[in-house]
Amino acid sequence: MNFSWCGVKVFITGINGFVGGNVARKLVELGADVYGLIRTNKFNSYLYYEKLDKKISLIDGEISDLNLLNQIISEEQINVIFHMAAQVEVGIGLKNPFLTFETNVRGTYTLLESARLYPDSLKAIVMASSDKSYGEYPRNDMPYKEDYPLLPKFPYDTSKACADMIAQSYTYGVRSLPIVVTRFSNIYGPGQLNFSALIPDCIRSALGYSKFIPRGDGSMMRDFLYIEDVVELYIRIAEFLANDKKTFSGQIFNAGSNSPKRVKEIIENIYTVIGEIDEYHNVLQKMKNKKTVGEIDCQFMDYEKVKDYFGWTPQHSFNDGLLKTIEWYKRYLKDR
């Protein structure tokens, strides 16, 4: 497939987040003209740490500001949108469901309404959803497949499922916008500076910069994707969608490693690689009988569909990605 990103105008919401920043980096390398919506100048974000802010056009504003989005999409003649702005923390969803729905639901329909009003230059809209949209299924029904009914219970999970259905309505019921919804498993790697997430928190702790805060007894099953594999897939999906709207618009794609691990295995891996196995045993003691609230027991994804459509498979094993990630955090934490 022939597709050149040179001169393509790309708008990324949530660009100062972990995934948005990494996607922006790759698109800049490919020659795209990148525009990003930022809610606040988070100078501790990957975007600023890697000095990407000097290579892209940043716009301050809210994802729910329809007039601002209209101005960006129409005046800049945006070709591709990556919608990654979200309130992503399960815990915040429980404490502040209003904020979660305001950002994840209202933000989505506001963006898509703007795209509906100014569709002429648009070739592709790629929506970042979540494996949590599916809700909780018994372990013997896993992995999640794209045709599974959405059964969310908790606020964050429900907000992402709602956003998915809104995207479908703008694909089929309103104006036939070229939209793909992506549901990926947990993503890790360089640039993840939300230290409430398991892997960055654990690495920071094992390197001696903080104390690890257990969130449960470690029995939950999780699936992880390395950020470089995720970025490659996002780029590929956008290219295919831009070239063939008829085939790809309205599609939903899962991605994961299909290799779930217990949370305590992940923690053990990190402490072992860093050489702090004694500290791991201390953490394990603290995790005993620790209850987890608002979390799904088991999550991992079937990725046969993206393999069939795009020839994509994860290129990084968990351990390979972990080694690269730890090295990046060593540099980042030393520089702070």
What CATH number does the domain containing 303 carry?
3.40.50.720
CA dist., res. 231 & res. 192, Å (int)? 14
CA dist., res. 48 & res. 16, Å (int)? 8
Predicted local confidence at residue 221, as pLDDT: 94
Number of folded domains in the chain? 1
Instruction: Tally the C-alpha atoms within 13 A of residue 98's C-alpha that lie toward its C-beta.
Output: 0
Residue 307 domain-assigned? yes
pLDDT tens for the 336 residues of the chain, in order:
789 999 999 999 999 999 999 999 999 999 999 999 998 766 689 999 999 999 999 999 999 999 999 999 999 999 999 999 999 998 899 999 999 999 999 999 999 999 999 999 999 999 999 999 999 999 999 999 999 999 999 999 999 999 999 999 999 977 689 999 999 999 999 999 999 999 999 999 999 999 988 888 999 999 999 999 999 999 999 999 999 999 999 999 999 998 899 999 999 999 999 999 888 888 888 888 787 777 899 999 999 999 999 999 999 999 999 999 999 999 999 988
Render pLDDT for 150-187 as a digit per residue (tens, 0 to 9): 999 999 999 999 999 999 999 997 768 999 999 999 99
Residue 62 domain-assigned? yes
Q: DSSP characters for 27-69?
A: HHHHT-EEEEEESS--TTSHHHHTTGGGTSEEEE--TT-HHHH
Vertex 192, ends 188 and 197: CA angle to 5°?
75
Predicted local confidence at residue 42, as pLDDT: 66
Measured N-to-C along each axis, helices 198-206 and 318-335 cross at an angle, to the nearest 10 degrees, of 60
Predicted local confidence at residue 96, as pLDDT: 96
Residue 228 domain-assigned? yes
Residue 183 domain-assigned? yes
Residue 327 domain-assigned? no
The answer to whether residue 226 is catalytic is no
Predicted local confidence at residue 214, as pLDDT: 83
Q: Catalytic pick from 144, 156, 303, 329?
A: 156
CB 161 within 8 A of CB 232: no
Which are the contacts of 335, defined by CB distance < 8 A and separation ≥ 6? Answer: 49
CA dist., res. 141 & res. 183, Å (int)? 17
Residue 234 domain-assigned? yes
CB 85 within 8 A of CB 13: yes
Domain that holds residue 166: 9-193+224-258+298-315
Residue 178 domain-assigned? yes
Residue 334 domain-assigned? no
CA dist., res. 147 & res. 251, Å (int)? 11
Predicted local confidence at residue 40, as pLDDT: 73
Render pLDDT for 64-81 as a digit per residue (tens, 0 to 9): 999 999 999 999 999 999
CA dist., res. 168 & res. 191, Å (int)? 31
Predicted local confidence at residue 68, as pLDDT: 98
Predicted local confidence at residue 226, as pLDDT: 98
